[in-house]
Amino acid sequence: MSKTEIVVIGAGIAGLTSAAILSKLGLSVTLIESHTQSGGCAGTFKRKKYIFDVGATQVAGLEEGGIHSKIFKFLDVPVPEASILNPACIVDLNDGSKPIPIWYDKNEWIKEREMQFPGSRKFWQLCNLIHQSNWTFANNNPVLPIKNLWDFSQLMKALVPTNLVTGILLKSTMFDLLRICGLSNDQRLVKFLNLQLKLYSQEDVYKTAALYGSTVLQMCQQPHGLWHLKKSMQVLSDALEDSLKKTGVNIVFGQKVNSITFDDVKKIWKVGAKSKQENVDYYADDVIYTPPPQSLLNNLEHSLVRNHNYKNRIQGLPDPSGALVFYSALKKDHLKSISSNHYQIVSNKLGSLFVSISEDGDGRAPRGEITLIASLFTKTIDWFNLDKNEYIKKKKVYLQNISIALENQFDIASENWLHKELATPLGFERWTNRPNGIVGGLGQNPDIFGLFGLSSRTPFQGLWLCGDSIYPGEGTAGVSQSALMVSRQILASKGINDFYL
């Protein structure tokens, strides 16, 4: 019988990070990943001479004191080489107005936004005040949502006096903040915020929780910042894997977990996994589940039959988005001069396109060439239930429309593409095993953010959730925070109450 104290399911950033933390602290850990490589949505794939980042292309939390940095320091692993993004992004509303560079330098950004959005100073100041309060709170390691006395004690320890003031805004949206500041009719600001918030919270300005949105709007600036990793996004996972190897974690690739059951007699969790060749069972006291919670409906079938409330909660989760991702390569000289690695552009036909451009010589393409990745949200339902011909046709139309939008935006001649391909939710489902290819986490509206979200603590003792559907939300930094939180909860359940980074 293969038994460890912990089985972690999924080697995306959430799974790698929780496995690394717990094993560094001496617990025996098995990590099971269905793919043949780690990284999940933050992984990479190779095509011809190019390395493409599958999903995530920029990283928050690599600065000194940021969540990734703190975890690497604790694991005694070097922080991967990266450069700060300045500007983090250029947002082009494509309405004839001047594009908006989101500067890293705080003062430059203040000047820019006052020039771009006259009269908006109060709004940004309010967001900044809320963010300062949020940030102190987040750094005090709160546990959210609260499910028992220990969680409650951690929340109380994390609270600072300003949280009691910002707490009034618990059920407010970003649009409420605009209203408070008399800016609800500023269409250009609303459009800009809609674009940016959708990227980070999966919701628009009308639905994004004020407490969440205020913080994500500050992530591009000092003292935080967004980072571009040298070589590829995979280096983040590789660094975590190095730590797992050092601490002796049993890493199993190519096995898909298809059942999780609690053995009432042996009082132990049994995790059934399947590879191409065999079925393997793993046993553990605690199981950390990092795929989207919606997958539990298949993996935890047996236990869910006995807990209708939880099953209904999972079934009732709002539908997350899917993504269409265009992966391409070009000669650097064939791209109009660019002044940022990231652009967010509005296309009349496609809506918002988020574009990530590699740097010459950063390891993603041979020197003189660059990779260009463009992504947009899509409804997953629009891609399933099509017959093969319809699917191929629809994919071709999108590939063509995205190419044209990029050619217009960056003055690219259509014959100059060296490579282009499109991933749809079907491809994401195959790559990440996420049901229907859903990406990101749960939309961060006031009904799902923080206190009101899905807890890492499930009704089944010893089964824990972690990843981008759990507090504080999506992104590699968010899921690392969620991995730290679940690790602390598991340690506390074993009597270790004082683990902090």
Ligand X SMILES: Cc1cc2nc3c(=O)[nH]c(=O)nc-3n(C[C@H](O)[C@H](O)[C@H](O)COP(=O)(O)OP(=O)(O)OC[C@H]3O[C@@H](n4cnc5c(N)ncnc54)[C@H](O)[C@@H]3O)c2cc1C
Q: Does 80 bind ligand X (CB under 6 A)?
A: no
- Which amino acid type is present at position 452? F
Measured from the CB atom, the residue of 134 and 378 that comes closer to ligand X is 378
Question: Which tokens belong to 337?
Answer: 């001069």
Measured from the CB atom, the residue of 211 and 479 that comes closer to ligand X is 479
Q: Does 42 bind ligand X (CB under 6 A)?
A: yes
Task: Select from 181-189, 290-298, 308-316, 445-453 the region that touches ligand X (CB under 6 A).
Answer: 290-298
Out of 30, 34, 201, 480, point to the residue binding ligand X (CB under 6 A): 34
As a whole number of angstroms, the distance between CA 297 and CA 303 comes to 10
For residue 54, CA distances in Å to 169, 198, 325, 424, 474 come to: 36, 19, 8, 12, 15
Task: Select from 159-167, 214-222, 392-400, 473-481 the region that touches ligand X (CB under 6 A).
Answer: 473-481
Q: Least distance (Å) from ligand X to the CB of residue 403?
A: 18
Task: Select from 6-14, 161-169, 175-183, 383-391 the region that touches ligand X (CB under 6 A).
Answer: 6-14
Out of 358, 467, 484, 490, point to the residue binding ligand X (CB under 6 A): 467
Site for ligand X in 179-198 (CB under 6 A): none
Task: Select from 26-34, 111-119, 124-132, 175-183 the region that touches ligand X (CB under 6 A).
Answer: 26-34
Out of 40, 66, 101, 427, point to the residue binding ligand X (CB under 6 A): 40
Q: Which residues have a Cβ under 8 Å from the Cβ of 38 and sit 6 or more positions away? A: 11, 12, 16, 237, 238, 240, 241, 253
Size of the site for ligand X (CB under 6 A): 38
Q: Which residues have a Cβ under 8 Å from the Cβ of 118 and sit 6 or more positions away? A: none
- Length of the chain equals 501
For residue 28, CA distances in Å to 16, 72, 466 come to: 14, 20, 18
Question: Does residue 257 sit in helix, strand or coil?
Answer: strand
For residue 286, what is the enclosing H or E element? strand 279-289
Task: Tell which residue, 456, 374, 453, has the closest CA to residue 410.
Answer: 374
Q: Least distance (Å) from ligand X to the CB of residue 40?
A: 2
Q: Least distance (Å) from ligand X to the CB of residue 185?
A: 32
Measured from the CB atom, the residue of 166 and 482 that comes closer to ligand X is 482
Measured from the CB atom, the residue of 16 and 205 that comes closer to ligand X is 16
As a whole number of angstroms, the distance between CA 364 and CA 154 comes to 42
Task: Select from 81-89, 214-222, 345-353, 429-437 the region that touches ligand X (CB under 6 A).
Answer: 429-437
Q: Parallel, antiparallel, or unpaired for β 463-465 and 279-289?
A: parallel
Task: Tell which residue, 59, 87, 92, has the closest CA to residue 344.
Answer: 92
Q: Helices 106-116 and 121-139: crossing angle, nearest 10°? A: 140
Label residues 262-299 b or e (16+ Cβ within 10 Å = b): beeeeeebbbbbeeeeeeeebbbbbbbbbbbbbbbeeb
- Which amino acid type is present at position 454? L
Give the x/- contact pattern for ligand X in 340-379, rule: CB under 6 A. Answer: -----------------------------------x----
Q: Does 256 bind ligand X (CB under 6 A)?
A: yes
Q: Does 151 bind ligand X (CB under 6 A)?
A: no
As a whole number of angstroms, the distance between CA 63 and CA 142 comes to 21
Q: Does 27 bind ligand X (CB under 6 A)?
A: no
Q: Least distance (Å) from ligand X to the CB of residue 497?
A: 26
Give the x/- contact pattern for ligand X in 310-339, rule: CB under 6 A. Answer: -------------x-x--------------
Q: Does 11 bind ligand X (CB under 6 A)?
A: yes
- For binding to ligand X (CB under 6 A), which residues are involved? 9-15, 32-35, 40-42, 55-59, 256-257, 290-291, 295, 323, 325, 375, 432-434, 439-440, 467-468, 474-476, 479
